[in-house]
Amino acid sequence: MNSTIIAPVAALVIGGAAGFIAGQKNVPDPISEEATGDARGSWRGGAVSSSSDRSGPRSSGSRVRSAKEAMELPGQNNRLQALMDYYAGLDPSKFEEEAKNLEDLPWSERIMVGYLLFARWGEEDPTAAMDYTKSMGFAGMFVRGTVMQSWASKYPQDAAAYYKTNPNEFRMGGMMGGRGGKGGGSTAQIIATEWARQDSAGAMAWAQSLEGRDQREAMRGIFSQAAKEDPAKAAGMLASITDEDAKRDAQNSIAREWGAKDWDGAQSWISGLPADQQADATARAIRGLADEDPQLASTKISAIPEGKERDEAIESIARRWGQDDPAAAADWVMKSGSEEAQTDAIGRVVASWVGQDTEAAYAFIDEQPEGGVRDKAASSYVMSNQRGDVQQNLKLAETIGDERTRSWAIGMTAASWARKDKEAATEYVESTEALSDEARTRIKQVTEAGGEGWGRRGRGRK
């Protein structure tokens, strides 16, 4: 691992945080804190030397002596680099001890350190790392994917053999980890993607030996990787797929990557697909384009017929555009698509907007008529502004029309407030007219406990 991993690590850490934390002990409420042919790999031979991996750039100054010391450095990039240097120079026999020491770190630090530790362990001695994940309870399901990706990045054949022998170890992790796209994927997809980076023909042969969802996911990974390099060449590989579902998934992966690289080229290729497959492929191409140029992607939305695919594309565009220009993204969302699409998309935009201009986001919500779209925007604002003005959050939460959403937003804010001022938060819950008796009783129990006990399970109850 080297400095080029720093930005991806940040995204992976955030994406895996909730699941990893869920399996740990003494976890606070989340509201409270911010084919190679070489088969001599680790599965058969134990630890693998990685001296060649240690030749990359190193941070200046003395090497830290522990993960805890690395986390005390100023600057997040410095911490990441120090951790990578520390684990790169650590004997693999020490990894288990390091894993046990994770319990001594604050949960927010534990996520970052844990990801880097298991990524390195997966490169050096993946079977030992896999064995250790089985002792971690629920959290092991999440770090297991990290181990597998590191293993497959060096020895995909061995990783594939382990997966074939032990598929049940990864079933729940695959269910929770999402499907394809730009984030995550199944174990079969992870292995196939890493294998394709080294040997696309070997990866394809392995994928074709799979069945059902595993084959579809593996094909998605291979073709997504191939399309990043040369989408036209990837499209030419489609003829080798006999399973129609797998072929459709691979085709959509190409469309997304091609749309991001060359919209006109993607459109030309899509026009030659069977008529009943063009809308789906176009939607994927637009979502790919949105990753690179969301404003341009917004002008192409009419190319997708109204329906689920169009709604999902609107949400993708809004999410990405909202990171750059939330005001423009919000204006476009309110003029585009069905009410359902607007409701799903506006929450993404407001979440970004709060971090950039809280007052403008609040003013936008205040101008919206009553209904599901406004409710979603308001609840997203409250969720994203938990470090902001408590009274303003409560005032906005009280205007949410849907009772369940309203009680959730009030409850979350009151729980956060109770951690600083239990008496004031409890008095508010007792006096507000915005809660049903049942919601009041439940939230009051939380505020009287100093804000403890409120989390995702609180959402959706009256």
- Please write the tens of the pLDDT for every residue from 158-171: 999 999 999 888 87
Instruction: Tell me, yes or no, whether 63 and 192 share the same domain.
Output: no
Nearest to 364 by CA among 354, 372, 397: 354
Would you tell me how many other CB atoms lie within 10 Å of the CB of residue 42?
24
Please answer whether residues 207 and 219 qualify as being in contact, where contact means their C-beta atoms are separated by less than 8 angstroms. yes
What is the C-alpha separation between 422 and 392, in angstroms, rounded? 18
Residue 304, token pair as written in the block: 């997708």
Residue 315 lies in a domain: no
pLDDT tens, residue by residue, 395-411: 999 999 999 999 999 99
Whether 187 is covered by a domain: the verdict is yes
Same domain, yes or no, for 3 and 121? yes
Same domain, 155 and 258: no
Distance CA 374, CA 353 (A): 15
Successive 10-residue mean pLDDT values, the chain, 462 residues: 43 42 38 34 38 39 82 89 92 93 82 91 94 87 90 96 91 48 70 94 93 91 93 93 89 96 96 94 96 96 92 95 96 91 94 95 96 96 93 96 95 93 95 95 93 56 38
Please report whether residue 457 resides in a domain.
Answer: yes
Q: 176, 201, 217: which is the final residue of a domain? A: 176
Indicate the residue among 261, 292, 323 that finishes a domain. Answer: 292
For position 33, what pLDDT does the model report? 34
Helix (H, G, I), strand (E, B) or coil at 434: coil
Residue 91 lies in a domain: yes
pLDDT score of 168: 86
pLDDT at position 185 is: 67
Report CA torsion sign: 125, 126, 129, 134. negative
21 with 131, same domain: the answer is yes
Domain count for the chain, please give it. 3
CATH number of the domain to which 281 belongs: 1.25.40
Are residues 85 and 233 located together in one domain of the fold?
no
Q: What is the pLDDT of residue 13?
A: 47
Query: Quick check: is 3 in a domain?
Result: yes
pLDDT value at residue 39: 35
Question: Residue 309: inside a domain, yes or no?
Answer: no
Assess whether 27 and 92 both reside in one domain. Answer: yes
CA atoms within 13 A on the CB side of 89: 15
Q: Is residue 328 part of a domain?
A: no
Last residue of one domain, picked from the residues 123, 157, 176: 176
Please tell me the chain's helix, strand, coil percentages from 3-state DSSP, rounded to the nearest 5.
75, 0, 25
Do 199 and 265 lie in one domain? The reply is yes
Same structural domain, 216 and 142: no
Same domain, 149 and 44: yes
User: Do residue 426 and residue 439 come from a single domain?
Assistant: yes
- Gap between the Cα atoms of 372 and 285, Å rounded: 29
Compute the distance between CA of residue 313 and CA of residue 267 in angstroms, rounded to an integer: 16
The residue segments making up the domain with residue 150 are 1-176
Within this chain, do residues 170 and 234 fall inside the same structural domain, yes or no? Answer: no
pLDDT value of position 106: 81
Is residue 300 domain-resident? no
Tokens of 290: 């949105």
Same domain? For 158 and 214 the reply is: no
Give the whole-angstrom CA distance, residue 391 versus residue 425: 10
Given a contact cutoff of 8 angstroms between Cβ atoms, the answer to whether 317 and 298 are in contact is yes
